[in-house]
Amino acid sequence: MDVTTHAAVGAFAALGLAKGKVGMTEISAAVFLGSMAPDIDAIFYLVDPRFYFEQHRTLTHTLGGVTLLSVVTAGLITVSSKRRSLFVLVLYAFVGGLIHLALDALPSYPLRPLAPLSSHDYALGLFWWRDPFFKGTALIGIALILILPRLLARPLLLVGLVVMAGRVAVAFFLHR
């Protein structure tokens, strides 16, 4: 998916998971940055656009790559603040990374999260690389989480994720 969809859904998950918790800033930063981190391979574009198109969605879009990026992301946040343990922040960043992989499985570009153990392509090919539904749902969710009491943050996140999963299910059955 495109960078703005990743940013919106990442921010929605970050707020939903972090609101009201001790170290809210660190947790939300870990989830959000973790959800954006796999597309760090865009820097290859600055080196050589052709190399970028060959390598995009490869190393950084595997479970191994996401784990490594989560450790780096959590490490950088822990250096600037000690309010949550490194391990906890790695887990939150990893959740962000999984959200990124889930969104990137929706278009038809190859996605091999289990590489190098398996080269199975998990891309579902259900959507174009940008679908306004996911971004729109996330933005509404962000607004509601910011406005409503913190007790509702997790239920709202859950509802938003179920709505997005419903959209995927509808697209899946329409494509059959």
Hey, which residues between 26 and 45 contact Zn ion (CB under 5 A)?
38-39
Q: Which residues contact 165 (CB under 8 A, 6 or more apart)?
A: none
| Contact call for residue 131 and Zn ion (CB under 5 A) | no
To Zn ion, the closest distance from the beta carbon of 51 in angstroms equals 16
Cβ distance 30 to 10 under 8 Å?
no
Rounded least distance, CB 36 to Zn ion, Å: 9
Q: 3-18 and 153-175 are packed helices; what angle lies between their axes, rounded to 10 degrees?
A: 140
Rounded to a whole number of angstroms, the distance between the first and last alpha carbons of the chain is 22
What whole-number distance in Å separates Cα of residue 123 and Cα of residue 63?
15
DSSP H helix total and E strand total for the chain: 8, 0
- Least CB distance from residue 100 to Zn ion, whole Å? 6
Contacts to Zn ion from residues 109-128, by CB under 5 A? none
Using CB under 5 A, count the residues that bind Zn ion: 3
Rounded to the nearest whole angstrom, what is the least distance from the CB of residue 38 to Zn ion in the complex?
5
Q: Is 104 or 131 the residue whose CB approaches Zn ion more closely? A: 104
CB 156 within 8 A of CB 148: yes
The token pair that represents 9 in the structure block: 């859904």
> Residues 5, 84, 96, 104: which binds Zn ion (CB under 5 A)?
104
The span of 26-34, 87-95, 99-107, 129-137 binding Zn ion (CB under 5 A) equals 99-107
Give min distance, CB of 57 to Zn ion, in A: 6
Report the interface residues with Zn ion, using CB under 5 A. Answer: 38-39, 104
